[in-house]
Structure 1
Amino acid sequence: MRDLTKYAKAMLMSAMILATTAVMAQQPGISHFRGYDKSAVNQFETSKDDIQPFNGLKVRVGGSFTQTFQALNHENVLDTVAAQFIDNNGDGTDDRELYPLAPGFNLAEANLNLDVQLAKGIRLSLETYLSTRHHSEAWVKGGYIQVDNLPFGDENSFFNQHMFVKVGHMEINYGDGHFRRSDAGNTFQNPFME
C-alpha cells in the first residue's frame, strides 16, 4: 500500500509539471510587448516592428516568483568595551553595538502580470505585487494602455510608424538602470541575481 501511495504521488507530481508546461505554452502573442523574462534584457522600449496579427481579444496572464537567501556579516571597528558607554534610549546596551545577524531567507516575493490585446495596436498592461511587503496584501505597481496604431486614418501615418502613446500609472523611464534591477518577484533582468 505504501508503494502504491508513493507511486500515486509521483504520478500526480509528474502530471502537474506537464500541465504547467502545457499551460505556459498557451500564452498568446501580443503586439508591441516587452517580455518579463530574459528575452527583454537590453530591450528598453517596445519595438514598432513587433507586430502580431490581431485576431480578437487576447489575454496573457503571467507571474514571477523570487525566494532569496541572504547571508550578511558586519562588524564595528569601534571598541565598545574600551570606549565611553553611550545609552541614549536607556535600554542598558551600548547604542553602537551591532545587531547580531544570521543567514536566512527573505520574504518571498511574487508579481502577477496581466497583458491584454484590446484592438489592433492597442494593449493594456497591469502589474501587481503579491506578498511583497506583507503576506496577505497585494499592491498594484502600475497599469497603462499603450496605443501603437491609431484605429482611424492612414495605416502608414507618421504616428503609426514612429510614435506610441502610453496612458496610465507606470514607471517613468529616467534611464536604463531601472530595467536592470530586481522588481519584486521579477529578478530575471538583474545581472547580480543568480
Structure 2
Amino acid sequence: MKRNIFKAGFIAALLTATSGFAQEGKLDNLKPRDQRGLTVFENPKDTVSTFDHLRVKVGGAFALQFQGIKHENNATPVIVNGVNTNQLYAIGNNINLPTANLDLDVALYDGVNLHLRTFLSSRHHNETYVKGGYLQIDKLDFIKKGFAEELMKYTTIKVGQDQINYGDAQLRRTDNAYAILNPFVGNYLMDAYATFPFAELYYRRDGIIVMGGITNGKLNQTATGGTSPGIYGKLGYDKQINQDLRIRLTGSVYNIARAPRLDFYNGDRAGSRYYFVMENTLATSSAQMRSGMVDPDFANTMTSFMVNPFLKYKGLEFFGIFESASGRNLVETERRTYNQYAAELIYRFGNTENFYFGGRYNKVDGKLITGEDISVDRYNIGGGWFMTKNILTKLEYVNQKYDGYPATNIRRDGKFNGFMLEAVISF
C-alpha cells in the first residue's frame, strides 16, 4: 500500500513539474500518438527545428475491452494430479483488465530526443515496470554547430532497449494500452516484437529507406556469455505520389546465430487481447498471457524476413504481411520453418476520416517441435469511431481455427469466435 501511494505521488509530482515544459502536439522527429500517427511508421525526419530549450512531453494511453468470446476443442483428456489439462478454461462475457501506459518524451538538445515508456498496468505483471526506451539523434550539433550537417539531413541514429525495427507490423500493433494505431483489437498471430538492446542507423532520402541494426537478442540482460550478436535491417520505399495516393513497400531481415534463449515471438509482456482462449482450467492471467498467439518455439538460432506492402488511396488502406522464419530449439539439430500471411483492408471516411470499417485475414503455418504440420487461421471484421483525435472506440468480430495439432494438444481441432469492444485513449 505504501509503495502504491508513493508511486501515485511520484507520478502526480512528475506531471506537475513537467507540465510547464510540455509542448502541445509533438516534439521534433517523434510521431504523434493520436489519430495523426495512424499512417506514420518510423519516427519522421523533421526538416525544421523548433528546439529552444529542454522540453518534456508527458503522455500516456489507456485501454479497456469487453470480451464476448466462446471456444471449443477436441483434444484427448490428459490427466495430471486428477485434473484434465486439456479441459478449456470457462470463459464468458465480461470486462478484461484495464491497461495503462506512461510515456515520457524529452527534447534534450537540438536534434536529440529521449523516449521512455512505462507500463502502469498490463496483463503479465501486477507491478509497474519500464517497457523500454531509446535515445534518438537526428543532429550532431552537440559536437559542433553544423557538424556533418549534410549527412545528418538524411541520417538518424537510435540506441536503447526497446522494440527493434524489424518489419512494419510492429509499427501498427497494440503496445499494451497504446492501441490507437491498431484498427482491430488483437495483434497478428505471429507477433515479431521484443524489447532488446539495440543500435540502429537510418538513411532516408527521396522516399528510400535504409536501416541497419545490431542487438544481442536478449530480453533480460546479464553479463554471462553464450550469445552471438543479432543483426537486422530494413530496405524500403515510402512516397506520397500525389494528394490521394501513398505507397510503401519494405523488406526486413533478422538473424541470430546462437543464443541461450530467444524472445522474438514471445517477447510481449503485455500479452494477448483475447483472454484465456484455448487455455486450460489451470490458466492464470500471467502464466497464460499469450492466449491465441502462435509461438514457433525457436530458442537457440533463428533467421526471419518480412515483406510489408502498404497503399493508401484517399480513404482506402491496404496493409499486408508475408513473413518466413526458420530456426530450432535447444534440443533440435534441424531447423523448422513457420510462414505468416496477412491482408488488411480498411476504409476510412468522415470529415476527418474519423470513422472506419474493414477486415483482416491472418494465417500461420509451420512444423511443431514434435513434427506435426499445423496451421492457424484468423479473420477479423470490424470498425471504429474516433470520437476525438485522442479517443477511439472499436468493435470487432474475431474467428480463429486450429488445424493439424496432435490429439493430446489442447489446440486439437480448436476454435474460438465472438465479439470484442475496446475503448482507447492516447495522448
Aligned-partner residue type, residue 168 of structure 1? G
Counterparts of 1:66-105 in structure 2, within 5 Å, are 66-77=63-74, 86=77, 88-91=79-82, 95-105=85-95
Say whether 1:115 aligns with 2:105: yes
Q: How many equivalent pairs are there?
A: 162
Counterparts of 1:3-42 in structure 2, within 5 Å, are 27-28=23-24, 29-42=26-39
2:55 and 2:108 in contact (8 A); partners too = yes
SS in 2 for 1:175: coil
1:134 to 119, 125, 138: 125
Write the deviation string for residues 107-157 of structure 1: whole angstroms up to 9, x where unpaired. Answer: 11111000010111011110111111334x112111111110111253672
2:139 and 2:149 in contact (8 A); partners too = no
Aligned-partner residue type, residue 40 of structure 2? Q
Write the deviation string for residues 2-33 of structure 1: whole angstroms up to 9, x where unpaired. Answer: xxxxxxxxxxxxxxxxxxxxx8xx63441101
**Alpha-carbon distance in structure 2 between the residues aligned to 1:108 and 1:175:** 28
2:29 and 2:43 in contact (8 A); partners too = yes
Q: Name segments (4+ residues, structure 1) moved above 4 Å.
A: 93-96
State the identity %. 37
Q: Kindly indicate which of the two structures has a greater share of residues assigned to strand.
A: 2
Partner of 1:12: none
Indicate the structure (1 or 2) with the bigger Cα radius of gyration: 1
2:57 and 2:105 in contact (8 A); partners too = yes
2:62 and 2:101 in contact (8 A); partners too = yes
Provide TM-score, normalisation by structure 1: 0.74
Say whether 1:58 aligns with 2:55: yes
Aligned-partner residue type, residue 88 of structure 1? I
Point out which structure has higher relative CO (alpha carbons under 8 A, 6+ apart).
Answer: 1
1:112 and 1:130 in contact (8 A); partners too = yes
| Unmatched runs of 5 consecutive residues or more in structure 2 | 1-18, 186-393, 395-427
**Alpha-carbon distance in structure 2 between the residues aligned to 1:162 and 1:122:** 15
Say whether 1:147 aligns with 2:132: no
Partner of 2:199: none
Partner of 1:47: 44
**Alpha-carbon distance in structure 2 between the residues aligned to 1:90 and 1:155:** 68
Say whether 1:172 aligns with 2:156: no
Cα pair distance change 1:73/1:150, threshold 3 Å: same
Taking only aligned residues, the RMSD between alpha carbons, in angstroms, comes to 2.3
**Alpha-carbon distance in structure 1 between the residues aligned to 2:91 and 2:73:** 13
